[in-house]
Amino acid sequence: MIAHARQRLTPWILSFANEDAPKSERGQAVFALRLESCPVERQSEGRSIREPRPVAIDLLNALFAESPAPTYALRYIAEPGGDEFGRGEITIALLVKTTAARTDDAAVRAEELAQEVVALVCAFLPDFDWTVVVTQNDFDRLWKPFGERTLHFGCVARREELIALDTLRPRPSLGRGRAAPPMTEADRNAIYVVCPFLPRTGSRDPLLRALLLQPEPVLWQVSLRLSDLILQKNRR
């Protein structure tokens, strides 16, 4: 009953124009869901908060939307406990951004998508209690949790490249490795290769503990925009 009631809530939507984006995606809108509770991990009971990998894959497939695809960002906001070593608070939120040619259209699409996203996360992760963020103050705490303070940014991106079928190239290697000659996307005789992040078994406990052990507040975010590789290949 709780999940069904929350699906009818109207989310607070932030709308804005991004002039640097393609013309069809300049209108952008963002809404948020906040994680209120989840199963507790107790090693003595053999209970883990990690979701089975097939469930996660099914959820990602269900979140797929036609072009322009939304962007999903799972955000961990850690506030270490000051002098208390390893203590503090971590807020977990799911931010969703929709795009359209006009800002108003992006906002309408965001309001429609919010109902679908809530229904999906409640269906695939029934033990995780998510709620829609409906006020501007609550949204701002997730959108700009550190206010106007000076921030340090770091990014880990997926590795991707175009490999020509009729060219001898060095084998990919971990780290910097050997430099490969640059290629252009106009090269038709090439294969688009994405090097995925390797999945690891285990719980989120090491990650959460590492966030709380930092000397300053930390925001850790995983951004995902689903794509259709077959569609992209046909456009080349």
pLDDT in tens, 174-225: 555 445 555 555 556 777 777 776 666 666 778 888 888 888 899 999 888 8
Of residues 157 and 225, the one with the higher pLDDT is: 225
- Dist CA 205 CA 91 (whole Å): 14
Of residues 38 and 118, the one with the higher pLDDT is: 118
Structure tokens at 10: 């109207």
8 Å CB contact between 21 and 99? yes
Lowest mean pLDDT among 5-19, 37-51, 150-164: 37-51
The interaxial angle of helices 103-124 and 53-62, nearest 10 deg, is 150
- Dist CA 219 CA 92 (whole Å): 10
The confidence band for 1, taking pLDDT boundaries of 50, 70 and 90, is very low
Of residues 54 and 35, the one with the higher pLDDT is: 35
Question: What's this model's pTM, rounded to 2 decimal places?
Answer: 0.74
Structure tokens at 40: 């507790």
What percent of the chain has a predicted confidence (pLDDT) above 90?
Answer: 30
Measured in degrees and rounded to the nearest 5, phi and psi for residue 230 equal -65, -40
What is the predicted pLDDT for the residue at 151?
A: 81
C-alpha distances out from residue 162 to 175, 181, 187, 198, Å: 18, 11, 8, 20
What is the predicted pLDDT for the residue at 4?
A: 36
What is the predicted pLDDT for the residue at 2?
A: 36
What is the predicted pLDDT for the residue at 154?
A: 82
Q: What is the mean pLDDT of the chain?
A: 77
